[in-house]
Amino acid sequence: MIGLLSRRRASARAALRRTRHIARVLGANGLESIAEATGLRRFLPRFGKDGGNGEVRSQAERLRVAFGELGVTFIKLGQMLSTRADLLPPDVIAELSKLQDSAPPVPFEEIRRILMEDLPGPKLASFAWIEPQPLASASIGQVHEALLRDGTPVVIKVRRPGVVEQVDQDLQILRQAVEWVQVHTPLGHDYELRPLMAEFAATLRDELDYVREGQNATKMRIAFGDDRRVWIPRVHDELTTTRVLTMERVGGIKFTDAARLDRLGISRRALAETAVRLFLRQVFELGFFHADPHPGNFFVQRDGSLAVVDFGMVGRISESTQRHLMAAMLAGVREDAEALAEELYALGVAGARADRVSFERDLARLVSRYGSSSIRDLSAATVTDELFSIAFRHKLQLPSELAQLLRVINMAEGLGLSLDPDFRYLEFSTPVIRKLARRRYSPAALARRAGMAAVEAAELGADFPRRAARLLGRFERGEIAIKVDHRGLESATREFQRMTNRLVLAMLLAASIVALGLAAGIRMVPSLEPIVDWLFRIALLFSLAFGVSILWGMWRSGR
């Protein structure tokens, strides 16, 4: 018991030190306003000025520098926020997009110790050799080249020591900061940040688990096993743990090495189409997609196929989201603003705060602006940026899966353009999406879904009496509370408060005037008149002070 209390106290002290460090870094970078908004300013009596060595930097640049200094959790937070152009202004998005996930390498002695703990005995003996010099070193783990005894070249990704503890501590601090922002700031009043924080925490913990990353890669490998244009490396499950991931070594030509691709006679246009087709199949068939498709995660093979690596960050979208997203894209192609708005509502883009008339008007402008252009001349990045701008202007909060997907669409288009400057993402993807839509709504697919729906309906019908009885029982025991969320009454409530305050003030002033008037008319013994005169003056001063204090309090509270 004593040991448990001691560990808790040590953990609390460590969390306090980390909180103070975070506040200090924010202050040193001139981000006092962010420290104030997140409730962290109280952890420092004073903040220093801009710590940029005399450089003149914007607020967005300072935020990027501070996140880079604070390590893995904040680097990942910045990368996640860089996808939320619906929540943050463009200059902040642009700066956070520059965050690089790199870190000094861990000494190989530490790496060897982790390997010996996680792959004991025969498992570690499966390796003929392991290269001590890392191929890459990031904030979560680092990668080493190795060779199995059967001659298979592999890479080993090893998680950095202490990173899980650091992330857990930072996530707890961030949760407290989000609670403060949610309650005390206009941003918290306009947006629901708690689900965003919960999703970020879940995604980051998934990245820390290499077993999960291996499962993602295997799922993708199975899904594209029949596509000879795509190669997903095999994961060696027997040599994989939560801290160690062993998979086939991927060689090949860098995606951006256009000169070498041309020398080998590999069609860059065909590669761009393969990359985009890969992404579209992931989104609209699997509902499971690679969420970090930057050029470093793709390697071109000599036969023109595409190898894809690094499945630590993946996105998932439900079948319902797939359906509405596909319909929204086709509505945009048809220039049907009303249908586009309906599909966006179904996707959860327009929440309770949305002025639907104004929102639909902006969507109609968007469709008309681009509808007159040939689809060949349209850029996916331009259209998605405009959608983000509309969401930001209307204070709409996009579902996280949709915000992540729109970012990946931009990155996929960038991949295609890096290979072929004449590649047009929307021109190529529209017929692919239509083909996928026809497959989704084919008679066989509809019959299959109808059969599944019939089974589910039958199960629900058989189970309904029991569920209804359980629900009524909870009502009878008082276990169910009904929450009434009124909307549109805020302005009326504020006006009523103002009227009530004015009425109270008028009554107090009237009472003071009457009391002082009565006091002034009372005849006193001549010897007491000087004392009464002073009491009258004091009462008058107190009344004035009381009235001024009420006015000041009303002005301060806005009520």
pLDDT of 448 above 70: no
Q: Which of 97-111, 164-178, 379-393 has the lowest mean pLDDT?
A: 379-393
CA–CA dist 315, 320 (Å, integer): 15
The DSSP code for 158 is E
292 annotated active-site: yes
Alpha carbon of residue 189 to chain centroid? 18
pLDDT 10s digits, 182-208: 888 888 887 888 888 998 999 899 999
The pair of three-digit structure tokens given for residue 103, joined into one six-digit string: 């870190």
pLDDT of residue 428: 81
Phi, psi (degrees; rounded to nearest 5) at 346:
-65, -30
Q: Are strands 153-159 and 230-231 parallel, antiparallel or unpaired?
A: unpaired
Residue 50 has pLDDT above 50, yes or no: no
Start-end of H helices in 230-318: 258-263, 268-281
Mean of pLDDT values over 153-181: 94
- pLDDT tens digits, residue range 376-410? 566 777 878 888 888 888 777 788 778 888 888 88
If 0-12 CB within 10 Å is exposed, 13-18 middle and 19+ buried, where does residue 5 land?
Answer: exposed
pLDDT (average), residues 161-173: 94
**Model confidence band, residue 47 (pLDDT cutoffs 50, 70, 90):** very low
Mean pLDDT for 464-482 is 70
pLDDT at 123 exceeding the cut of 60: yes
pLDDT, residue 490, reads 55
Identified catalytic residue from 86, 118, 170, 292 = 292
Alpha helices of 296-379 — where are they, by DSSP H? 319-333, 337-346, 356-371
pLDDT band at 243 (very low <50, low <70, confident <90, very high): very high
- At residue 200, what are phi and psi to the nearest 5 degrees? -60, -45
d(CA 19, CA 21): 5
pTM of the model: 0.72
Cα separation, 154 vs 127, whole angstroms: 9
Which has the closest alpha carbon to 419: 199, 260, 207? 260
Look at 430 and 94; give whichever has higher pLDDT: 94
3-state helix, strand, coil in the chain (%, to 5): 65, 10, 30
Distance from C-alpha of 297 to C-alpha of 287, rounded to nearest angstrom? 20
> Where are the domains positioned within the chain?
2-100, 102-170+187-249, 251-441, 450-476, 504-557
User: Does the pLDDT at position 45 exceed 60?
Assistant: no
Measured from the Cβ of residue 321, the count of other Cβ atoms closer than 10 Å reads 19
- Percent residues over pLDDT 90 in the chain: 24
Give CA–CA dist 345/320, Å, rounded: 13
pLDDT greater at residue 437 or residue 46: 437
One CATH from 3.30.70, 3.40.50, 2.40.10, 3.30.200 for 102-170+187-249: 3.30.200
d(CA 329, CA 426): 10
- Residue 45 CA to residue 363 CA, distance in Å, equals 48
Partner residues linked to 244 by β-bridges: 158
State the pLDDT at residue 53.
45
Share of the chain above pLDDT 70, in %: 77
Q: What is the mean pLDDT of residues 429-446?
A: 71
